[in-house]
């Protein structure tokens, strides 16, 4: 009697267990370090200990992002984040 219920529960859990085993699937969340300057606030985003981008929020003017160039100590300034973060719309009015 309980075997079909256990089988159905096992099937529901399988896709979650398989998602962790997909090569290239990164399930680490970014670690954010916030640093306050005199006229700017810096948000450092690290994934797996590697610096991925820095969000700069000046007290006046628009915010921008600094993205490190691979293989050098230089940064590229962009207007939008380069991190791929899942975003879903749950409700819309």
Total tally of structural domains belonging to the chain: 1
- Whether residue 44 contacts residue 59, with contact meaning beta carbons closer than 8 Å, is answered with no
More confident call, 6 vs 93: 93
The answer to whether position 89 is within a domain reads no
The answer to whether position 92 is within a domain reads no
pLDDT, position 41 = 95
Give the integer Cα–Cα distance in Å for 31 and 52. 10
The answer to whether position 58 is within a domain reads yes
The answer to whether position 82 is within a domain reads no
Q: Is the pLDDT of residue 24 over 90?
A: no
The answer to whether position 37 is within a domain reads yes
Q: What is the mean pLDDT of the chain?
A: 77
The answer to whether position 64 is within a domain reads yes
Token pair, residue 48, equals: 């797996």
pLDDT in tens, 48-76: 888 889 999 999 999 999 999 888 889 99
pLDDT, position 88 = 75
pLDDT, position 19 = 43
The answer to whether position 67 is within a domain reads yes
Q: Which of 85, 87, 83, 86 is nearest to 51 (CA)?
A: 83
pTM of the model: 0.60
| Residue span of the structural domain in which 58 resides | 27-74
């Amino acid at each position: 009697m309980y075997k079909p219920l256990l089988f159905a529960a096992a099937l529901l859990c399988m896709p979650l267990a398989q998602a962790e085993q997909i090569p290239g699937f990164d399930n680490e969340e970014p670690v954010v370090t916030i640093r306050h300057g005199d006229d700017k606030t810096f948000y450092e985003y690290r994934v797996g200990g590697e610096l991925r981008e820095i969000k700069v929020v000046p007290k006046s003017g628009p915010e921008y992002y600094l993205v490190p160039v691979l293989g050098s100590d230089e940064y590229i300034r962009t207007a939008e984040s380069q991190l791929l973060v899942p975003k879903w719309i749950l409700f819309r009015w």
